Structure 1
Protein backbone atom coordinates (compact mmCIF):
# COMPACT_ATOMS: atom_id res chain seq x y z
CA UNK A 1 0.00 0.00 0.00
CA UNK A 2 1.60 3.23 -1.16
CA UNK A 3 1.49 5.86 1.58
CA UNK A 4 2.92 8.81 -0.33
CA UNK A 5 5.52 9.86 -2.87
CA UNK A 6 8.36 12.35 -2.75
CA UNK A 7 10.10 13.90 -5.71
CA UNK A 8 12.25 10.79 -6.28
CA UNK A 9 10.74 8.02 -4.10
CA UNK A 10 7.57 6.06 -3.43
CA UNK A 11 7.02 5.14 0.22
CA UNK A 12 4.94 2.09 1.15
CA UNK A 13 3.60 0.39 4.24
CA UNK A 14 5.67 -2.80 4.56
CA UNK A 15 3.24 -5.64 3.74
CA UNK A 16 3.51 -9.30 2.86
CA UNK A 17 3.53 -8.32 -0.83
CA UNK A 18 7.03 -6.93 -0.18
CA UNK A 19 8.43 -10.08 1.45
CA UNK A 20 10.65 -11.21 -1.42
CA UNK A 21 11.86 -7.72 -2.32
CA UNK A 22 12.51 -6.96 1.35
CA UNK A 23 14.47 -10.19 1.70
CA UNK A 24 16.61 -9.17 -1.30
CA UNK A 25 17.19 -5.73 0.27
CA UNK A 26 18.29 -7.32 3.56
CA UNK A 27 20.54 -9.93 1.92
CA UNK A 28 22.14 -7.44 -0.48
CA UNK A 29 23.01 -5.20 2.46
CA UNK A 30 23.79 -7.82 5.10
CA UNK A 31 27.49 -6.93 5.41
CA UNK A 32 26.83 -3.20 5.09
CA UNK A 33 24.21 -3.15 7.88
CA UNK A 34 26.04 -5.57 10.23
CA UNK A 35 28.13 -2.93 12.08
CA UNK A 36 24.93 -1.03 12.99
CA UNK A 37 22.57 -3.88 13.96
CA UNK A 38 22.29 -6.78 16.39
CA UNK A 39 23.96 -10.00 15.28
CA UNK A 40 21.81 -11.70 12.65
CA UNK A 41 21.91 -15.44 11.94
CA UNK A 42 20.91 -17.01 8.63
CA UNK A 43 17.39 -17.71 9.94
CA UNK A 44 16.76 -13.95 10.25
CA UNK A 45 17.09 -13.67 6.45
CA UNK A 46 14.85 -16.66 5.63
CA UNK A 47 11.68 -15.71 3.74
CA UNK A 48 9.35 -17.41 6.25
CA UNK A 49 11.00 -15.50 9.11
CA UNK A 50 10.73 -12.21 7.21
CA UNK A 51 7.06 -12.90 6.44
CA UNK A 52 6.38 -13.67 10.11
CA UNK A 53 8.03 -10.41 11.19
CA UNK A 54 5.99 -8.47 8.64
CA UNK A 55 2.78 -10.18 9.82
CA UNK A 56 3.55 -9.26 13.44
CA UNK A 57 4.41 -5.69 12.46
CA UNK A 58 1.09 -5.39 10.62
CA UNK A 59 -0.76 -6.51 13.76
CA UNK A 60 1.11 -3.83 15.72
CA UNK A 61 0.32 -1.32 12.96
CA UNK A 62 -3.40 -2.11 13.30
CA UNK A 63 -3.11 -1.46 17.04
CA UNK A 64 -1.32 1.87 16.37
CA UNK A 65 1.93 0.68 17.98
CA UNK A 66 4.21 1.21 14.98
CA UNK A 67 4.48 1.74 11.26
CA UNK A 68 7.14 0.02 9.16
CA UNK A 69 7.78 1.56 5.77
CA UNK A 70 9.91 0.72 2.76
CA UNK A 71 10.71 2.88 -0.21
CA UNK A 72 11.71 2.54 -3.83
CA UNK A 73 12.85 4.94 -6.48
CA UNK A 74 9.76 6.53 -7.98
CA UNK A 75 7.77 4.13 -10.19
CA UNK A 76 10.17 1.24 -9.54
CA UNK A 77 9.76 -1.99 -7.54
CA UNK A 78 13.15 -2.60 -5.91
CA UNK A 79 13.23 -1.67 -2.22
CA UNK A 80 16.17 0.64 -1.55
CA UNK A 81 15.41 1.70 2.02
CA UNK A 82 13.42 1.08 5.17
CA UNK A 83 12.02 3.47 7.76
CA UNK A 84 10.56 2.23 11.03
CA UNK A 85 8.59 4.23 13.57
CA UNK A 86 8.17 1.99 16.61
CA UNK A 87 7.04 1.94 20.24
CA UNK A 88 4.32 4.54 19.80
CA UNK A 89 3.31 6.07 23.11
CA UNK A 90 0.25 8.27 23.27
CA UNK A 91 -1.30 10.31 26.06
CA UNK A 92 0.93 12.86 27.71
CA UNK A 93 4.12 11.65 25.96
CA UNK A 94 3.07 11.27 22.26
CA UNK A 95 6.40 9.83 21.16
CA UNK A 96 8.03 7.07 19.13
CA UNK A 97 11.41 5.79 17.99
CA UNK A 98 12.79 6.06 14.47
CA UNK A 99 15.09 3.60 12.74
CA UNK A 100 16.20 3.68 9.12
CA UNK A 101 18.48 1.99 6.62
CA UNK A 102 19.45 2.60 3.02
CA UNK A 103 20.90 0.30 0.38
CA UNK A 104 24.62 1.00 0.12
CA UNK A 105 24.33 1.65 -3.65
CA UNK A 106 22.05 4.66 -3.00
CA UNK A 107 23.91 6.37 -0.16
CA UNK A 108 25.11 9.95 -0.51
CA UNK A 109 22.33 11.02 -2.90
CA UNK A 110 19.90 12.59 -0.42
CA UNK A 111 17.31 9.85 -0.90
CA UNK A 112 17.16 8.91 2.79
CA UNK A 113 16.72 12.54 3.79
CA UNK A 114 13.94 12.94 1.23
CA UNK A 115 12.07 9.78 2.28
CA UNK A 116 12.52 10.53 6.00
CA UNK A 117 11.25 14.09 5.62
CA UNK A 118 8.05 12.83 4.02
CA UNK A 119 7.74 9.98 6.53
CA UNK A 120 8.08 12.30 9.52
CA UNK A 121 5.34 14.52 8.10
CA UNK A 122 3.17 11.44 7.50
CA UNK A 123 3.60 10.18 11.08
CA UNK A 124 3.01 13.63 12.55
CA UNK A 125 -0.14 14.18 10.49
CA UNK A 126 -1.60 10.70 11.02
CA UNK A 127 -0.54 9.91 14.59
CA UNK A 128 -0.10 13.38 16.16
CA UNK A 129 3.33 12.36 17.43
CA UNK A 130 5.10 15.20 19.27
CA UNK A 131 8.56 13.67 19.84
CA UNK A 132 10.50 11.33 17.56
CA UNK A 133 13.61 9.79 19.09
CA UNK A 134 16.47 8.39 17.01
CA UNK A 135 19.75 7.06 18.37
CA UNK A 136 22.97 6.18 16.59
CA UNK A 137 26.49 4.93 17.23
CA UNK A 138 28.93 7.76 17.92
CA UNK A 139 30.95 6.97 14.78
CA UNK A 140 27.93 6.71 12.48
CA UNK A 141 28.52 10.05 10.79
CA UNK A 142 25.97 9.45 8.01
CA UNK A 143 23.10 8.96 10.46
CA UNK A 144 24.29 11.91 12.50
CA UNK A 145 24.32 14.16 9.42
CA UNK A 146 20.92 12.95 8.20
CA UNK A 147 19.28 13.43 11.58
CA UNK A 148 20.86 16.86 12.07
CA UNK A 149 19.68 18.00 8.64
CA UNK A 150 16.13 16.96 9.57
CA UNK A 151 16.23 19.07 12.74
CA UNK A 152 16.98 16.35 15.30
CA UNK A 153 18.87 17.65 18.33
CA UNK A 154 21.40 15.73 20.38
CA UNK A 155 19.95 15.11 23.84
CA UNK A 156 22.49 12.84 25.42
CA UNK A 157 25.02 10.09 25.37
CA UNK A 158 24.10 6.61 26.62
CA UNK A 159 26.90 4.27 27.57
CA UNK A 160 26.55 0.58 26.77
CA UNK A 161 23.08 1.31 25.34
CA UNK A 162 22.45 -1.47 22.82
CA UNK A 163 24.13 -4.74 21.91
CA UNK A 164 25.17 -4.05 18.33
CA UNK A 165 27.14 -6.51 16.22
CA UNK A 166 27.71 -8.64 19.31
CA UNK A 167 29.02 -5.89 21.59
CA UNK A 168 27.42 -3.43 24.00
CA UNK A 169 27.89 -0.05 22.38
CA UNK A 170 27.39 3.58 23.34
CA UNK A 171 24.82 5.67 21.48
CA UNK A 172 24.09 9.31 20.80
CA UNK A 173 20.48 10.11 21.80
CA UNK A 174 18.59 12.51 19.52
CA UNK A 175 15.06 13.78 19.22
CA UNK A 176 12.91 15.87 16.97
CA UNK A 177 10.15 17.89 18.60
CA UNK A 178 7.20 18.48 16.28
CA UNK A 179 4.70 21.32 16.68
CA UNK A 180 1.29 20.56 18.12
Structure 2
Protein backbone atom coordinates (compact mmCIF):
# COMPACT_ATOMS: atom_id res chain seq x y z
CA UNK A 1 0.00 0.00 0.00
CA UNK A 2 1.23 3.48 -0.87
CA UNK A 3 1.29 5.74 2.21
CA UNK A 4 -0.32 9.10 1.37
CA UNK A 5 0.21 10.58 4.84
CA UNK A 6 -2.56 11.82 7.15
CA UNK A 7 -3.55 8.22 7.88
CA UNK A 8 -4.44 7.49 4.26
CA UNK A 9 -3.17 4.91 1.80
CA UNK A 10 -3.70 3.81 -1.79
CA UNK A 11 -4.11 0.12 -2.56
CA UNK A 12 -5.63 -2.11 -5.24
CA UNK A 13 -9.30 -2.95 -4.81
CA UNK A 14 -9.93 -6.34 -3.30
CA UNK A 15 -12.90 -8.61 -2.63
CA UNK A 16 -14.78 -7.35 0.39
CA UNK A 17 -14.43 -3.65 -0.53
CA UNK A 18 -18.06 -3.40 -1.69
CA UNK A 19 -19.62 -2.18 1.57
CA UNK A 20 -16.94 0.46 2.15
CA UNK A 21 -17.23 1.65 -1.47
CA UNK A 22 -21.03 1.85 -1.19
CA UNK A 23 -20.69 3.93 1.98
CA UNK A 24 -18.15 6.23 0.32
CA UNK A 25 -20.31 6.77 -2.75
CA UNK A 26 -23.41 7.38 -0.62
CA UNK A 27 -21.52 9.84 1.60
CA UNK A 28 -20.20 11.70 -1.48
CA UNK A 29 -23.29 11.47 -3.66
CA UNK A 30 -23.96 15.22 -3.73
CA UNK A 31 -20.24 15.95 -4.18
CA UNK A 32 -19.92 13.61 -7.17
CA UNK A 33 -23.23 13.96 -9.00
CA UNK A 34 -22.14 16.92 -11.15
CA UNK A 35 -19.06 14.97 -12.34
CA UNK A 36 -20.56 11.47 -12.75
CA UNK A 37 -23.13 9.72 -14.90
CA UNK A 38 -26.61 9.49 -13.39
CA UNK A 39 -26.61 6.49 -11.05
CA UNK A 40 -29.60 4.36 -10.14
CA UNK A 41 -30.25 3.45 -6.51
CA UNK A 42 -28.65 0.00 -6.86
CA UNK A 43 -25.24 1.59 -7.55
CA UNK A 44 -25.09 2.76 -3.93
CA UNK A 45 -25.60 -0.73 -2.47
CA UNK A 46 -22.89 -2.96 -1.04
CA UNK A 47 -24.04 -5.77 -3.32
CA UNK A 48 -23.63 -3.76 -6.52
CA UNK A 49 -20.30 -2.34 -5.39
CA UNK A 50 -19.06 -5.84 -4.59
CA UNK A 51 -20.03 -6.87 -8.15
CA UNK A 52 -18.07 -3.89 -9.50
CA UNK A 53 -15.10 -4.91 -7.33
CA UNK A 54 -15.26 -8.48 -8.71
CA UNK A 55 -15.36 -7.10 -12.26
CA UNK A 56 -12.37 -4.88 -11.46
CA UNK A 57 -10.35 -7.73 -9.96
CA UNK A 58 -11.12 -9.87 -13.03
CA UNK A 59 -10.16 -7.00 -15.37
CA UNK A 60 -6.84 -6.72 -13.53
CA UNK A 61 -6.08 -10.42 -14.01
CA UNK A 62 -6.74 -9.92 -17.74
CA UNK A 63 -4.57 -6.75 -17.80
CA UNK A 64 -7.54 -4.62 -18.95
CA UNK A 65 -7.71 -2.31 -15.90
CA UNK A 66 -6.09 -1.47 -12.57
CA UNK A 67 -8.49 -0.13 -9.94
CA UNK A 68 -7.41 1.33 -6.61
CA UNK A 69 -9.05 2.70 -3.47
CA UNK A 70 -7.94 5.49 -1.15
CA UNK A 71 -8.40 4.12 2.36
CA UNK A 72 -8.10 5.45 5.89
CA UNK A 73 -6.35 3.57 8.68
CA UNK A 74 -9.77 2.34 9.81
CA UNK A 75 -10.48 0.90 6.34
CA UNK A 76 -12.93 3.60 5.28
CA UNK A 77 -12.84 4.22 1.52
CA UNK A 78 -12.08 7.88 0.82
CA UNK A 79 -11.89 7.77 -2.99
CA UNK A 80 -10.93 5.74 -6.02
CA UNK A 81 -8.31 5.96 -8.75
CA UNK A 82 -8.50 3.82 -11.86
CA UNK A 83 -6.51 2.94 -14.94
CA UNK A 84 -9.19 1.66 -17.31
CA UNK A 85 -9.75 0.60 -20.90
CA UNK A 86 -6.19 -0.63 -21.30
CA UNK A 87 -5.34 -1.17 -24.96
CA UNK A 88 -2.25 -3.18 -25.81
CA UNK A 89 -0.47 -3.64 -29.10
CA UNK A 90 0.33 -0.55 -31.11
CA UNK A 91 -1.39 1.79 -28.60
CA UNK A 92 -0.24 0.62 -25.13
CA UNK A 93 -2.65 3.22 -23.76
CA UNK A 94 -5.32 3.60 -21.09
CA UNK A 95 -7.80 6.04 -19.54
CA UNK A 96 -7.33 7.53 -16.08
CA UNK A 97 -10.18 8.34 -13.70
CA UNK A 98 -10.32 9.38 -10.06
CA UNK A 99 -12.24 11.06 -7.25
CA UNK A 100 -11.56 11.93 -3.63
CA UNK A 101 -13.90 12.36 -0.66
CA UNK A 102 -15.34 15.87 -0.38
CA UNK A 103 -13.69 16.27 3.04
CA UNK A 104 -10.23 15.72 1.50
CA UNK A 105 -10.29 18.00 -1.54
CA UNK A 106 -7.73 20.77 -1.85
CA UNK A 107 -4.95 18.98 0.07
CA UNK A 108 -2.86 17.82 -2.90
CA UNK A 109 -3.66 14.16 -2.30
CA UNK A 110 -4.98 13.56 -5.79
CA UNK A 111 -1.80 14.98 -7.33
CA UNK A 112 0.21 12.41 -5.36
CA UNK A 113 -2.19 9.64 -6.38
CA UNK A 114 -2.09 10.55 -10.08
CA UNK A 115 1.72 10.62 -9.97
CA UNK A 116 1.71 7.12 -8.47
CA UNK A 117 -0.76 5.83 -11.06
CA UNK A 118 1.31 7.21 -13.93
CA UNK A 119 4.38 5.48 -12.51
CA UNK A 120 2.42 2.24 -12.07
CA UNK A 121 1.06 2.47 -15.63
CA UNK A 122 4.58 2.88 -17.01
CA UNK A 123 6.58 0.54 -14.77
CA UNK A 124 4.09 -2.21 -13.91
CA UNK A 125 1.68 -2.20 -16.85
CA UNK A 126 4.18 -1.25 -19.55
CA UNK A 127 1.94 1.48 -20.97
CA UNK A 128 3.13 4.24 -23.27
CA UNK A 129 0.31 6.76 -22.77
CA UNK A 130 -2.41 7.76 -20.31
CA UNK A 131 -5.43 9.82 -21.28
CA UNK A 132 -7.83 11.68 -19.00
CA UNK A 133 -10.80 13.92 -19.60
CA UNK A 134 -12.44 16.63 -17.52
CA UNK A 135 -15.57 18.68 -17.81
CA UNK A 136 -14.66 22.13 -19.10
CA UNK A 137 -15.35 23.75 -15.73
CA UNK A 138 -13.45 21.18 -13.62
CA UNK A 139 -10.42 23.37 -13.06
CA UNK A 140 -9.24 21.45 -9.97
CA UNK A 141 -8.92 18.22 -11.90
CA UNK A 142 -7.25 20.03 -14.78
CA UNK A 143 -4.64 21.41 -12.36
CA UNK A 144 -3.99 17.91 -11.00
CA UNK A 145 -3.36 16.63 -14.51
CA UNK A 146 -1.16 19.55 -15.56
CA UNK A 147 0.94 19.23 -12.35
CA UNK A 148 1.54 15.61 -13.31
CA UNK A 149 2.87 16.24 -16.79
CA UNK A 150 -0.35 15.80 -18.74
CA UNK A 151 -0.91 18.13 -21.66
CA UNK A 152 -4.23 19.36 -22.96
CA UNK A 153 -4.70 17.88 -26.42
CA UNK A 154 -8.14 19.17 -27.33
CA UNK A 155 -11.80 19.51 -26.57
CA UNK A 156 -14.26 16.73 -27.33
CA UNK A 157 -17.81 18.01 -27.88
CA UNK A 158 -20.53 16.01 -26.11
CA UNK A 159 -17.91 13.44 -25.13
CA UNK A 160 -19.56 11.76 -22.11
CA UNK A 161 -23.06 11.65 -20.65
CA UNK A 162 -22.52 13.29 -17.26
CA UNK A 163 -25.27 14.39 -14.85
CA UNK A 164 -27.81 13.25 -17.46
CA UNK A 165 -26.50 15.34 -20.36
CA UNK A 166 -23.92 14.85 -23.12
CA UNK A 167 -21.20 17.25 -22.08
CA UNK A 168 -18.05 18.70 -23.62
CA UNK A 169 -14.72 17.62 -22.12
CA UNK A 170 -11.12 18.70 -22.35
CA UNK A 171 -8.82 15.81 -23.23
CA UNK A 172 -5.39 15.40 -21.67
CA UNK A 173 -2.59 12.93 -22.28
CA UNK A 174 0.73 12.03 -20.78
CA UNK A 175 3.34 10.13 -22.70
CA UNK A 176 4.95 7.85 -20.14
Shorter chain as denominator, the TM-score bin is over 0.9
Report how many aligned residue pairs link the two structures.
175
1:162 CA drift (Å): 0.7
Residues 74-126 of structure 1: per-residue CA shift (max 9 Å, x gap): x4422212101001111111100000001010000011111221122122110
8 A Cα contact 1:36 1:165, kept in partner: yes
Aligned equivalent of 1:63? 62
Q: State the distance in 2 between where 1:69 and 1:157 align.
A: 27
Task: Map residues 49-128 of structure 1 onto 2, 5 A cutoff.
Answer: 49-73=48-72, 75-128=73-126
8 Å CA contact 1:6, 1:118 repeated in 2: no
Task: Assess if the C-alpha contact under 8 Å between 2:19 and 2:45 holds in 1.
Answer: no
Match of 1:41 in 2: 40
Equivalent position SS for 1:81: strand
TM-score norm. by structure 1 comes to: 0.92
Q: Distance in 2 between matches of 1:72 and 1:43?
A: 23
Name the structure 2 match of 1:31.
Answer: 30
TM-score by length of 2: 0.94
RMSD, aligned α-carbons: 1.3
Could you tell me which residue of structure 1 aligns to residue 13 of structure 2?
14
Once the two structures are TM-superposed, the CA of residue 10 in structure 1 deviates from its matched residue by 1.6
